[in-house]
């Protein structure tokens, strides 16, 4: 075949893939359902909606409609693991989208992108380094305190370097979270110490699933860790999976349910880890491939005795 013909075919195919990834798959939202046998024997199931990485801008109407539709699930608890906004104008649309989910018990942490507005850059740089050094501006330029204030005013619990307690459906939940390790704002020492052994569930929440931070949660006895940040790899290779995780976690745990290997000295148990592949993208890398945007409904069930 003539070289020019081959080049033309490759160009058309490339354009088709880019169009699919940025127009179709980026808006092809999925609800993933996952059971986690993490509660004590005999406990009633608890339904947890895990959302992450919306990177919301006011123009993302399909994303907002999907988030709005999640209220129909009527979960018992909502966990938002950060990177909610990508624009100073997104807080109102975010609150509108969450709608009646804000009337349900909820918790949140920030991701670095809640603090720093997105900047253009070569997405391929993640192949050889993470984005941890990308947020080296002196002061955040997004209204992250307003975001947190609005979510707190609506009744959700701020877990940024804080511990908390909730009683949901009669189950006592001990919670702790950190601000984003990826932005060097995690201060685990502020929440360190054994998780309440009397609680039915001990839940740890963080944006970027950095192993050294998760080691500490697990060692303190947290049963289940929820994180986001990875976007599931965002552009995955079919049959191979994620090329990068953009953090310290291995590619095999870039999204979905796994175990974190650190053992708690208190009870000898390891922690479950759920990483959300997230719902959005940076406005400067508006594409997802073989990695649909997702929210997850986790049904926590009793362990077998």
Binding site for Fe ion (CB under 5 A): 53, 83
Q: How far apart are the first and last CA of the chain?
A: 66
CB of 80 to Fe ion, least distance (A): 12
Closest by Cα among 208, 219, 300 to 254: 208
* Cα dihedral 196/52/89/113 (nearest 10): 80
Taking the C-alpha atoms of residue 280 and residue 57, their distance in angstroms, rounded to an integer, is: 10
Q: How far is CA 295 from CA 22, 80, 143, 274, in A?
A: 19, 10, 24, 12
CB of 82 to Fe ion, least distance (A): 7
Comparing CB distances to Fe ion, the nearer of 83 and 210 is: 83
Comparing CB distances to Fe ion, the nearer of 194 and 283 is: 283
Comparing CB distances to Fe ion, the nearer of 225 and 227 is: 227
3-state secondary structure 204-244: EECCCCCHHHHHHHHHCCCCEEEECCCHHHCEEECCCEECC
Contact indicator for 135, 115 with CB cutoff of 8 Å: yes
CB of 103 to Fe ion, least distance (A): 26
CB of 207 to Fe ion, least distance (A): 8
Phi/psi of residue 287, nearest 5 degrees: -155, 145
Q: Which residue has the tokens 């990834």?
A: 21
Comparing CB distances to Fe ion, the nearer of 53 and 76 is: 53
CB of 56 to Fe ion, least distance (A): 11
3-class SS of residue 186: coil
Comparing CB distances to Fe ion, the nearer of 131 and 200 is: 131
Closest by Cα among 128, 87, 132, 127 to 112: 132
CB of 71 to Fe ion, least distance (A): 23
Contact indicator for 158, 79 with CB cutoff of 8 Å: no
Beta carbons within 10 angstroms of residue 105's beta carbon: 18
* Cα dihedral 244/247/251/254 (nearest 10): -100
Comparing CB distances to Fe ion, the nearer of 218 and 227 is: 227
Strand-pair partners of 204: 176, 225
CB of 109 to Fe ion, least distance (A): 12
CB of 295 to Fe ion, least distance (A): 14
CB of 275 to Fe ion, least distance (A): 12
Comparing CB distances to Fe ion, the nearer of 85 and 166 is: 85
Comparing CB distances to Fe ion, the nearer of 53 and 223 is: 53
Tokens of 48: 């947890």
Comparing CB distances to Fe ion, the nearer of 36 and 56 is: 56
């Amino acid at each position: 075949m003539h070289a020019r013909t081959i080049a033309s075919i490759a160009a058309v195919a490339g354009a088709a893939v880019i169009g699919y990834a940025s127009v179709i798959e980026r808006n092809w939202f999925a609800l993933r359902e996952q059971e986690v046998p993490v509660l004590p024997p005999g406990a009633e199931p608890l339904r947890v909606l895990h959302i992450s990485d919306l990177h919301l801008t006011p123009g993302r109407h399909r994303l907002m409609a999907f988030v709005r539709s999640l209220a129909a699930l009527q979960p018992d608890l909502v966990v938002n693991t950060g990177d909610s906004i990508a624009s100073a104008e997104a807080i109102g649309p975010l609150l509108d989208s969450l709608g009646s989910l804000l009337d349900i018990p909820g918790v949140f942490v920030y991701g670095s992108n809640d603090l720093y507005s997105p900047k253009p850059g070569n997405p391929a740089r993640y192949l050889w380094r993470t984005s941890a050094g990308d947020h080296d501006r002196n002061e955040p330029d997004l209204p992250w305190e307003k975001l947190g204030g609005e979510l707190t005013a609506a009744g959700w619990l701020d877990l940024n370097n804080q511990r908390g307690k909730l009683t949901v459906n009669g189950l006592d939940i001990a919670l702790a979270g950190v601000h984003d390790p990826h932005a060097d704002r995690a201060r685990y020492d502020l929440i360190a110490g054994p998780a309440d052994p009397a609680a039915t569930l001990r839940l740890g929440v963080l944006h970027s699933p950095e192993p050294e931070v998760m080691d500490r949660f697990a060692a303190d006895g947290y049963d289940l860790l929820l994180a986001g940040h990875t976007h599931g790899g965002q552009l995955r290779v079919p049959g191979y999976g994620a090329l990068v995780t953009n953090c310290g976690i291995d590619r095999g745990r870039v999204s979905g349910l796994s175990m974190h290997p650190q053992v708690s000295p208190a009870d000898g148990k390891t922690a479950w880890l759920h990483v959300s592949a997230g719902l959005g993208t940076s406005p400067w890398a508006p594409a997802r491939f073989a990695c649909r945007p997702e929210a997850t409904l986790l049904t926590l069930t009793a362990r077998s005795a």
